[in-house]
Amino acid sequence: MSGSGNTGVGSVGDMVARMRTVMPAAWFPMTAPGADVSATPVLDGLLSGTGWAWSYCYALTLYVIQQARLATATGGLLDMICSDFFGTLLKRLATETDDAFRDRIRANLLIPRVTRAAVSAAIATLLGQVPEIFEPSRAADTGGYGSSAVPAAGGGGGYAAAGIAFGSSEMPFQYRVTVCAGSSRTTRASQASYIDGTGAMQIAGRYVTRYTVPASGAATPLIEPRGFNLIKDSVGWSGCVAAATGAGAQWALEGAAADAVWAGQPVLQVSIIRGGSITGPAAVVASDGNAVTGSAWVMLPSDPDLLVFSLRISDPDRAGSAVIQPSRLGMAGKWQRITATLPTALPGAGSGKRRVSIMLIGAAIGPVSAPVLTQCWQIEPGTTASSYIPSARQIGIREADSLVAVTPVSSLPVETSSLYEAIGRAAPAGSVAWTAVSG
């Protein structure tokens, strides 16, 4: 906080200097420039007491200004701003950073409201699919009766005819939402990641189908079995990676990086401070004796002094067990995922428990100009790296994906509270007389 030190605007020293400038010069001797000892130590002590109070007030004023704006508010004050605008409709998610929460607040402040399109967009954002909306007072939804002479008039049809519904002008501002409008949905009951068409990582909510986006061809659903991320805090990094400085490298946690593979989440910066062998941060977990796969996303700087940068997975208690997978130096400036598999421990498959460590290592011929960025670490059972499973304070779990065909009358599970929350943001209470939700 500004004003807490002895130098700079608003500091105790600054406040003391300001008070001395308005005191009569003949009252007290002036300390010579560059002198090691003050000519007025008693006066300096008295002024420092008052200066500390003024410095505190100055810093507090700056803090209040910062917390009074959505763009700069932090912590609990940001939650209070959200509560003032949205009440209980919008809350901070578990482990959500200030910047990510701020982005959601901004998005909800600016969303379209109180229109059919607004309700449709809010639900599509939540569920990943556009809902079907039927308004009894809207002729375009109900259709109209045709005739033998003009069978297609008004949409055509009659009793029990396909594509026609009964409406009423006595039901204004009322509608029905069908949330299972797609041909298929997933029954996965947990969130997990996917890479969108731009190459950025996104997090899909529960029951939302994820899609793979190949270099060529159309996107297809991503179907994966039940999975685990054995790292207990891959999102917040607390207790996940070693805090000490390794040989030739040091690392620091960057708050919420907008250009990260998972935007808005903390990124670890690994600075290479001298040449030679580089030992980066590490994470250690407990596992059984079966094969496990470690993975980490990294972004390398473009620097000729960086010779190699790799992911190393090993059993710390078994010499010679390490498996090393190098990154691609040609992808400097772009996020890439490095994966390496530690095979079944000997002797025997699945025998007992063991520790598993993943570590970033490398080599350089000198200091590297920019740090290596890394994020989204994962250690999972098996020999294949699945999509990233975020974990916070406990092992991360992804339920199995299972695509099932649905119809508008099917009854797949829907997060009702989240659905009504989405509708409530777009159509505030009092603007809608009745809403039915099916699916």
Query: Is the residue at 318 inside a domain?
Result: yes
Per-residue pLDDT at 372: 92
Per-residue pLDDT at 411: 46
Per-residue pLDDT at 2: 42
Same domain membership, residue 232 and residue 103:
no
From 54, 89, 109, the end of a domain falls on 109
Same domain membership, residue 61 and residue 84:
no
Per-residue pLDDT at 318: 86
Query: Is the residue at 222 inside a domain?
Result: no
Per-residue pLDDT at 353: 79
The tally of domains found in the chain comes to 3
Same domain membership, residue 362 and residue 314:
yes
* Global pTM value: 0.55
Same domain membership, residue 85 and residue 50:
no
Query: Is the residue at 438 inside a domain?
Result: no
Q: Which of 406, 435, 394 is nearest to 177 (CA)?
A: 435
Query: Is the residue at 58 inside a domain?
Result: yes
Query: Is the residue at 158 inside a domain?
Result: no
Write out residues in the chain with pLDDT < 70, as ranges.
1-7, 34, 89, 124-130, 143-166, 171, 179-185, 197-198, 213-218, 239-240, 242-245, 258, 345-352, 405-422, 425, 428-439
Per-residue pLDDT at 156: 53
Per-residue pLDDT at 374: 92
Query: Is the residue at 393 inside a domain?
Result: yes
Per-residue pLDDT at 410: 47
Per-residue pLDDT at 185: 67
From 109, 129, 163, the end of a domain falls on 109
Query: Is the residue at 233 inside a domain?
Result: yes
What domain range includes position 87?
75-109
